[in-house]
Amino acid sequence: MFQRTRVLVLSLFLSMAFAAHGQSYNYDPERSAILLVDPYNDFLSEGGLLYERSRETLEANNAIENMKNLITAARSAGVKVIYVPHHQSREGDKAGWKFGRGTSGVFKAGTWAAEYHPDLQMQPGDIEARQHWQSSGFANTDLDFLLKQHGIDHVILAGMRANTCIESTARYAVELGYHTTMVTDAVGAFNMREMNAATEIDYPVISHNVLTTGEFIEAIK
């Protein structure tokens, strides 16, 4: 009986959360920015160390094309595009760390692996934040400072991975007071379970709005 009650309460909570998302919203270009997280070849390009693990969700979402369409439309509408890159690994860069963990060996500095996907290259007017060591694009970086300096208080997240760096960056953004939008088909993960848990359960609860690429593009026309 207790377990059934818990399930019913959780279902009600989630349904209320979902009801508040997917709505039309007016994004002021001067106050909005795309945060494109970790669009590295290692994730997104064939031959990348993490590509085969990501391929299923990237193809299911048409994610790379959607990321490209998202940032292209954003630039055309005057919405800032900010690249939020993960730390690029170097030999021994975590030597002596008390609790070192994470992505040693991937996104290797100075190599093709740590370059941005060919379809997602930076353009004049784009901004690049300092590299984040773990999951959040805000922790130990200048991202919050950059957003404040440009008068941005609305962030729209896309990139990799849906359930780690994207979700962690979104949670941090909300805690810092940013209006936060998740784009469900412009992200990838290592499998569909990760993807679905992030986009169907977590995003509606932690963010202010959850949209598809097409819905966001329509909102900024």
Q: Is the pLDDT of residue 2 over 70?
A: no
2: its two tokens: 């207790």
Query: What are the two backbone dihedrals, phi and then psi, of residue 114, each rounded to the nearest 5 degrees?
Result: -100, 10
Report the candidate in 164, 98, 106, 114 with the shortest Cα–Cα distance to residue 135.
164
Does the residue 3 lie in any domain? Answer: no
Angstrom distances, CA of residue 183 to CA of 4, 15, 146, 162, 211: 32, 19, 22, 10, 5
Q: Give the CA count within 13 Å in the CB-facing half-sphere of 30.
A: 1
pLDDT for the residue numbered 102: 58
CA 192 to centroid of chain Cα atoms: 16
- The answer to whether residue 82 scores a pLDDT higher than 50 is yes
Is 94 a domain residue? no
* β pairing state of 80-84 and 32-37: parallel
pLDDT at 16: 47
Mean pLDDT of the chain: 91
Residue 162 lies in a domain: no
Question: Residues 189-218: pLDDT tens digits?
Answer: 999 999 999 999 999 999 999 999 999 999
Name the nearest CA neighbour of 34 among 195, 201, 199, 173: 173
Average confidence (pLDDT) over 158-186: 98
Predicted confidence at residue 105, as pLDDT, reads 84
The answer to whether the CB of 93 falls within 8 A of the CB of 46 is no
Q: Is residue 124 part of a domain?
A: yes
What integer pLDDT is reported at residue 12 of this predicted model? 47
**Residue 93 is assigned to a structural domain of this protein:** no
Residue 95 within a domain: no
Residue 57 within a domain: yes
Domain count, the chain: 1
Q: What is the dihedral of CA 199, 205, 207, 209, to 10 degrees?
A: 70
Q: What is the CATH number of the domain that holds 191?
A: 3.40.50.850
State mean pLDDT over 43-48.
98
pTM of the model: 0.89
Range of the domain at 75: 26-88+104-156+168-219
So what's the pLDDT on residue 15?
A: 47
Judge whether 138 lies within some domain: yes
